[in-house]
Amino acid sequence: IGNFMLMENPRARIRYIHAEQYVSDVVKAYQRKAFDDFKRYYHSLDLLLIDDIQFFSGKNRTQEEFFYAFEALIANRAQVIITSDTYPKEITGIDDRLISRFDSGLTVAIEPPELEMRVAILMKKAQAENVTVPEEVAFFVAKHLRSNVRELEGALRKILAYSNFHGKEITIEVTREALKDLLTVQNRQISVENIQKTCADFYNIKVADMYSKKRPA
């Protein structure tokens, strides 16, 4: 989105940050008594993109400053785009004023990328690291990790670190070893046994009771 805006308007003032960085900026402004500079910068943007807004939870001063920035940007017909790991109303520890503002905008659920897209993302990320990852390795990782781009990036970093540390070429065998903990978790999450245990824990019954014809009292 930011790149598209720059193509349309090379002079556009754009800021893309993680919510943690915004919190850090607020803390620095407080320590340096430089809130005027902080507000002048953030209130003058054409586009503000903040990732993982749920990180603001419980941080009252940060929420207050973001509320003022949000209001100023909207008043100036600027755009504000935020992401979170859940819907606005489900975020806890966030001021109702902000939740109301979030709900007033367009809310879009971003689905996990398809297999081909996951492979392409891995290949592109590897290329950015100046590393050649065999296509079969990219397919192996993409097939087993399906949730989001960050998980793919984290997996790639683990593979590269393991390969460098052990001085081994990146193969499926090396990848399997580098990601064994992650793959174990993934396999456990989708196993029948784990589904049964989760259901049993939720209903406070034994797994054996699920196979019994008798209903627990």
Q: Domain 115-178 is of which CATH architecture? A: Orthogonal Bundle (1.10)
Query: Model-level pTM?
Result: 0.60
Question: Residue 198 in contact with residue 177, Cβ under 8 Å?
Answer: no
Is residue 142 within 8 A of residue 183, CB to CB? The reply is no
Domain residue limits, the chain: 2-104, 115-178
Give first-to-last CA distance, the chain, whole Å.
56
Q: Token pair 């790639």 is at which residue?
A: 156
Asked whether the beta carbons of 55 and 19 are under 8 A apart, the reply is yes
Q: Do strands 14-18 and 47-51 pair parallel, antiparallel, or not at all (unpaired)?
A: parallel
In terms of C-beta density within 10 A (0-12 exposed, 13-18 middle, 19 or more buried), how is residue 62 classed? buried
Identify residue 88 by its one-letter amino acid code: P
Give the CATH H-level superfamily of domain 2-104: P-loop containing nucleotide triphosphate hydrolases (3.40.50.300)
pLDDT tens sequence for the chain (217 residues): 888 888 889 999 999 999 999 999 999 999 999 999 999 999 999 999 999 999 999 999 999 999 999 999 999 999 999 999 888 888 999 999 999 999 988 887 777 778 898 999 999 999 988 999 999 999 999 988 877 788 889 999 999 999 999 999 999 999 999 999 888 655 544 455 556 666 666 667 776 665 655 554 5
Burial 70-98 (b: 16+ CB within 10 A, else e): beebeeeebbbebebeeebeebeebeeeb
The two most distant CA atoms of the chain are separated, in Å, by 71
| Structure tokens given for 99 | 């939740």
R_g over Cα of the chain: 23
